[in-house]
Structure 1
Amino acid sequence: MHSTHTRFRHAVLTAGATALALLATGCWYASTGARTGGCRDVGDWSGREQAAWLRTAVAFHGTTDGADPSYAQASVVVRGPRTGDVRVLCRPLAVQVEFWTFTATTTRPEMSFVMRYGLSADGGRTRTVAFPAGLPTGQDGTCVQVLVAAYAGTPLAGGELPELTADLATAGDVDVRFGTARIGVHRLLPAQGPAQCHAGRSTPRPSPTASTGWDIYHP
């Protein structure tokens, strides 16, 4: 009889310990879920995956047709993805928004750095980067186009910088090549004076922009 009671008591204690273990495990998972808040994990994202996220999160405003005599109203907007997994990222991405100009010469388009703006983005709030002031518009007879790109990570190294694969007079977005897969989105804006950009035409150098050489970071 005593042995039966002992076995029963042991079974009850074992069952109780198992229940407590399961309860503790459940509480741990609940705590983990509370900490992540249902956010999207980006811990091991590759450069391509970060670029894919940016492609659905970045939009260009005021840059569609090149008809405006200036870029005063143009901007790059980084917000939450519009399609796919729209959850906020668990850890913000470091994002660079960079501007260049391409000027026609007798040989090949000449690229000049204008400005780079660094920020962090997780899709939880909207970040807006205005185009730099003083961008050349071609009104002085120069065949020049503006290139803007948004990408994740550190600033581009020499071998990652953009190149044009077509004449500036006819070049479009598909004619821009970068030496890296981490470019999320880019836009080669139409020349403000398209009639001035004839294939192979040599044009005077543009006047310096007011923003050449800016490198800004805003977390």
Structure 2
Amino acid sequence: MADGAQAGPSASASPSPPYPTNAKGCHPTGNWTQKEAAAWVQLQDTVFHKAVDGIKDKVQFSKSLKGYDGPLCEPVTVQVQFWTITYGSATGAETTSATGSPPDYYFSMRSLKRTELRIDGREDHDVYMPKSFYAGDRSPCVGTLLAVYVGKPLTAKELPTDIDFGDSYLATNSATFPTKRVADSELSPPSAPNVCDPNGKPTADPSATPAPGASTYPSFPYKPYEPTPSFSLKLNPTHG
């Protein structure tokens, strides 16, 4: 090093892009599995809120940062689907034991809306939620679920059979989909499942009927299942 010369700052290596582009300026997807496609979609989708009242308004798929996460050479088929989920108690909201443990809960699903997209990261896409999805006046026995997934509409065998509700702010509400095609999902629980009868109808004023135990919700984890062994698309339509 010459006299008086000072060493400059050491160069830090840039992180490798997860989806680098090729000579054509896009990321090849020809050999992707559905799981790999869902992982890329998970980077793109976001649930946005209205600026005024804070109510969730849409699901947005953002434009890729060129050379980092796209764009893709071939678009991916994506479905955005919204359901209402009606909850009922197998015992009419009675406790199941002398210890006061919560009753068994069950649920059925009804599709509100499904939107199919072809996205490659070259532009933004918005999917607006049904107006009733986060309605403040919905039944205390009704919750909602949205899912973002790749490929064709989910089959009956790919729909959730387990839903877990936390009984504190530290716990996460989640629906378990038995498929790797789901990139993201968001569950909004019922406000008072403890007052619901087996048909998912409220039988009492939720504010005057505390649930067993300290929480409004059944103790975590709480895993409801389909209401009857005859659960089917005919009885509980799930997509359309």
Distance in structure 1 (CA, Å) of the matches to 2:238 and 2:178: 21
Corresponding position of 1:4: none
Distance in structure 1 (CA, Å) of the matches to 2:139 and 2:151: 37
Q: Which sections of structure 1, spanning at least 5 residues, go unmatched?
A: 1-34, 206-211
Give the match's secondary structure for 1:105: strand
Give the match's secondary structure for 1:53: helix
How far did residue 85 of structure 1 move? Answer: 3.3
Is the Cα–Cα contact under 8 Å of residues 64 and 71 in structure 2 kept in the other structure?
no
Using the size of structure 1 for normalisation, the TM-score is 0.63
- The one-letter code matched in structure 2 to 1:143 is C
Query: Does the alignment pair 1:102 with 2:99?
Result: no
Higher Cα radius of gyration: 1
Is the Cα–Cα contact under 8 Å of residues 168 and 199 in structure 1 kept in the other structure?
no
How far did residue 135 of structure 1 move? Answer: 3.2
Distance in structure 1 (CA, Å) of the matches to 2:164 and 2:44: 28
Whose helix proportion is higher, 1 or 2?
Answer: 1
Cα deviation 1:156-182 (Å, max 9, x = unaligned): 111111233336988x76531112101
Sequence identity of aligned pairs in percent? Answer: 27
More moved, 80-89 vs 140-149: 80-89
RMSD: 3.3
Query: Does the alignment pair 1:57 with 2:44?
Result: yes
Give the match's secondary structure for 1:109: strand
How far did residue 82 of structure 1 move? Answer: 6.7
Cα deviation 1:24-65 (Å, max 9, x = unaligned): xxxxxxxxxxx96220000010011001001111000129xx
- The one-letter code matched in structure 2 to 1:182 is R
Q: Which sections of structure 2, spanning at least 5 residues, go unmatched?
A: 1-21, 91-105, 203-236
Is the Cα–Cα contact under 8 Å of residues 104 and 168 in structure 1 kept in the other structure?
no
How far did residue 86 of structure 1 move? Answer: 1.8
Query: Does the alignment pair 1:92 with 2:75?
Result: yes
Give the match's secondary structure for 1:99: strand
Query: Does the alignment pair 1:47 with 2:44?
Result: no
How far did residue 74 of structure 1 move? Answer: 1.0
1:48–1:175: structure 2 CA closer, same or farther, 3 Å change rule?
same
* Equivalent residues, number: 165
Give the match's secondary structure for 1:85: coil
Distance in structure 2 (CA, Å) of the matches to 1:140 and 1:160: 26
